[in-house]
A and B are shown apart, each in its own frame.
Chain A
Amino acid sequence: AQSVTQLDSHVSVSEGTPVLLRCNYSSSYSPSLFWYVQHPNKGLQLLLKYTSAATLVKGINGFEAEFKKSETSFHLTKPSAHMSDAAEYFCVVGSGNTGKLIFGQGTTLQVKP
């Protein structure tokens, strides 16, 4: 069965410092992995996805994630946090015959001025 575990429920950084949101996955085959972001009172927006091409995936707003099979990880990073990055971030794995998504618990990113 496919699953993802987000290792931190809450991460707090200062504006301008790096962001690291951690995600480990479990999959019996090569997974499709996603990061989605949810700003308050907004829908879920795709940041980036990995589908067995390049292991370093670049997304929107300066975010990127690296697929590491040996560590079963797909951590999300950004070199310099901006106040507008404050949101809930979900690590997600695709599964099943219709590509249903299985979500992690979510990580709340707080950005302090």
Chain B
Amino acid sequence: EPEVTQTPSHQVTQMGQEVILRCVPISNHLYFYWYRQILGQKVEFLVSFYNNEISEKSEIFDDQFSVERPDGSNFTLKIRSTKLEDSAMYFCASSEVGLVGDTQYFGPGTRLTVL
């Protein structure tokens, strides 16, 4: 069964450093998403991406964040200058058509620790 994969599973970085989190969505899916879960808190939507453009973003997704689909298979989330409060589990998801009610398939997550 096709699945969403994410690398690395755990990333440790120093405050102020740039990190790139990688995801490989399911191959025939058109919509891609990033969510995060700070320890002990809800899973929160960050951004949705379709046709090489951001479709929707939350207030969390400020200028420090960016997303890209560099090569037709990978989908990346970049944090330019990490802060302590960026420490969280980051989940990538993909769906076929991106409509409300369409199933989103999640990857296993990347745990980001900012020291």
Which of B100, B102, B103 is close to A95, meaning CB atoms less than 8 Å apart? B100
Partner of B42, one of A36, A46, A106: A106
Interface SS of chain B: strand
**Interface: B65 (CB within 8 A):** no
Question: A41–B6 Cα gap in the complex (Å)?
Answer: 13
> Does the CB pair B50–A98 fall under 8 Å?
yes
Q: How many residues of A contact B (CB 8 A)?
A: 25
Residue of B nearest to A29 (CB): B100
Q: Which residues of A contact B (CB under 8 A)?
A: 32, 34, 36, 41-46, 49, 51, 90, 94-106
Given contacts A44-B106, A98-B56, A98-B98, 16 further A-B contacts (CB under 8 A): A36-B106, A42-B108, A43-B4, A44-B91, A46-B105, A49-B103, A90-B43, A94-B101, A98-B31, A99-B100, A99-B101, A100-B33, A101-B33, A101-B93, A101-B104, A103-B44
